[in-house]
Amino acid sequence: MTTDLVAAQPARGNALKRAVERFPFLPALIILVVLLVLNGLYQPRSVSFIGLTGLIKTYLALMLLAIAQTYVVYAGDIDLSAGAIVSLVNVAIITAMDALGGGTGAVLAGLGIGLLVGLACGIVNGIVVATLRLQAIVATFATSIFFTGLALYVMPVAGTPAPTAFWRTYGGRILDIPFVLYAVIVLAVLLLVLARTKLALRLLSVGDDQQAAFQSGLPVTRIRLQGYALCGLFAALAAFCITGDTASGDPLVGGKMTLNSVAAVVLGGTALAGGFGTVTGSVIGALIIGLIGSLVFFVGTPSEWQNLVQGVAILLALMAGILVGRRASR
């Protein structure tokens, strides 16, 4: 059996090509390493243990949102309300924890509520896009306004602080190891498990060719709906991280993150048309966006130029990813 497989795969093409076929996020990984080196050159402390922990602490939310986005992009859909879900979950858990007194029990109850809110938002998106068959890009843009409206109703002005127990845990250490590192390990295991589910394979199959999936007997509507539900859950996790990082409620906190999450997915080598990609790539993509932000700062770009330079840098990263991918596929 094993010899059969080896015989059937002759050593055609170079090693790079095979590596990119096996790990489509490889170009993104190369860019990530280059950015880490550049960051280290301009600010050696940024690549220290503390520096990297800080980076993860700040960008864990974006990583999670990029993961959330990946599952809907798998199926050829998109979620432009992901950031709004983050905002809504953020104000919902802060308000709930505040109302319940802010103790450990209140924090846990608040997290449970947050997951339910995220899940509900995802299901709403799924119903609108998959069941009612509205265009994903427009429909989720509309629900994003709706979710933002809800968030503003729950908390009209930013500023309610998070319970101390919550943000101290997120920013603190357990057994002298930063909490976010535990979070990263749990996340990695979770992603490994999810990658082995039927759902992941079915989402990708729907994204590959929706008509073919339907004709093969897959419940296409249900699968797309499940993708959005999963997206809502991960958006809620992203909201937990951003709440831990900012330690306060803000009904507009997630707005800017939506398109960053889409950019991270594309940087990670996932096809926006669906059917092809990896969650790992999206995580790397989120880190690339984070590192570009900090590099622009470390280089000493004047504040009025930072946006411009950051935009150009993201464009360059996208182009570099495509170039590496193309060379490999030759």
Partner 1 sequence: MARLAAKAVSKTYGATKALRRGDLEVEAGEVHVLIGSNGSGKSTLCKIVAGSVRPDNGELLFEGHPMVVSGPNAARKIGIGIFYQELSLAPHRTVAENILLSDLPGGVFVDRKALNTKAQRYIDLFKNVTGDNFHAGAIVETLRPDQRQLVEIMKALSSEAPILIFDEPTSALDRAQVDRFFEILRELKDDGRSIVFISHRMDEIFALGDRVTVIRDGETVATKRIAETDAAEVIRLMVGGDETLTAAEPHQPTAVAATAKTVLAVDALSGDGFGNVSFNVAAGEILGLGGLHGQGQSAVLRALFGATPPTSGTVLLNDKALASSSPRATINRGLAYISGDRRRDGVIAGRPILENVTPVHALKQRLSLATPSSLREKAKPALEALRTKFAGFSHPIGSLSGGNQQKIVIARWLIDRPDVLLLDDPTKGIDLQAKTDLFQLIRKLAAEGMAIVLYSSEDAELLGNADRILVFNGGSVTRELTGADRTPFNLYQAAYEAA
Where do contacts with partner 1 occur on this chain (CB under 8 A)?
Answer: 1, 4-5, 8-10, 21, 193, 196-199, 201-202, 204-205, 208-209, 211-219, 275-276
Least distance CB 201 / partner 1 (angstroms): 6
Least distance CB 178 / partner 1 (angstroms): 31
Residue 37 to residue 284: CA distance in whole angstroms: 15
Least distance CB 17 / partner 1 (angstroms): 12
Q: Tokens for 259?
A: 């398109």
Least distance CB 247 / partner 1 (angstroms): 36
Nearer residue to partner 1 within complex by CB, 3 or 303: 3
Least distance CB 100 / partner 1 (angstroms): 33
Residue 79 to residue 70: CA distance in whole angstroms: 9
Least distance CB 203 / partner 1 (angstroms): 11
Nearer residue to partner 1 within complex by CB, 135 or 215: 215
Radius of gyration of the chain (CA): 20
Nearer residue to partner 1 within complex by CB, 276 or 297: 276
Q: Tokens for 234?
A: 């991960």
SS3 11: coil
Closest CA to 147 of 223, 239, 76: 239
Which of 9-48 are b and which e, b meaning 16 or more Cβ less than 10 Å from the residue's Cβ?
eeeeeeeeeeebeeebbbbbbebbeebbebbeeebeebee
Contact yes or no for 84/142 (Cβ under 8 A): no
Nearer residue to partner 1 within complex by CB, 215 or 307: 215
Nearer residue to partner 1 within complex by CB, 131 or 164: 131
Nearer residue to partner 1 within complex by CB, 277 or 321: 277
Give the number of residues written for the chain: 330
Element containing residue 76 per DSSP (H, E) = none
Strand partners, 174: 177
Least distance CB 248 / partner 1 (angstroms): 38
Q: Tokens for 156?
A: 């009209």
Least distance CB 326 / partner 1 (angstroms): 16
Nearer residue to partner 1 within complex by CB, 5 or 157: 5
> For the residues of 94-136, what is the DSSP string, one character each?
HHHHHHTTSSHHHHHHHHHHHHHHHHHHHHHHHIIIIIS---H
Nearer residue to partner 1 within complex by CB, 112 or 219: 219
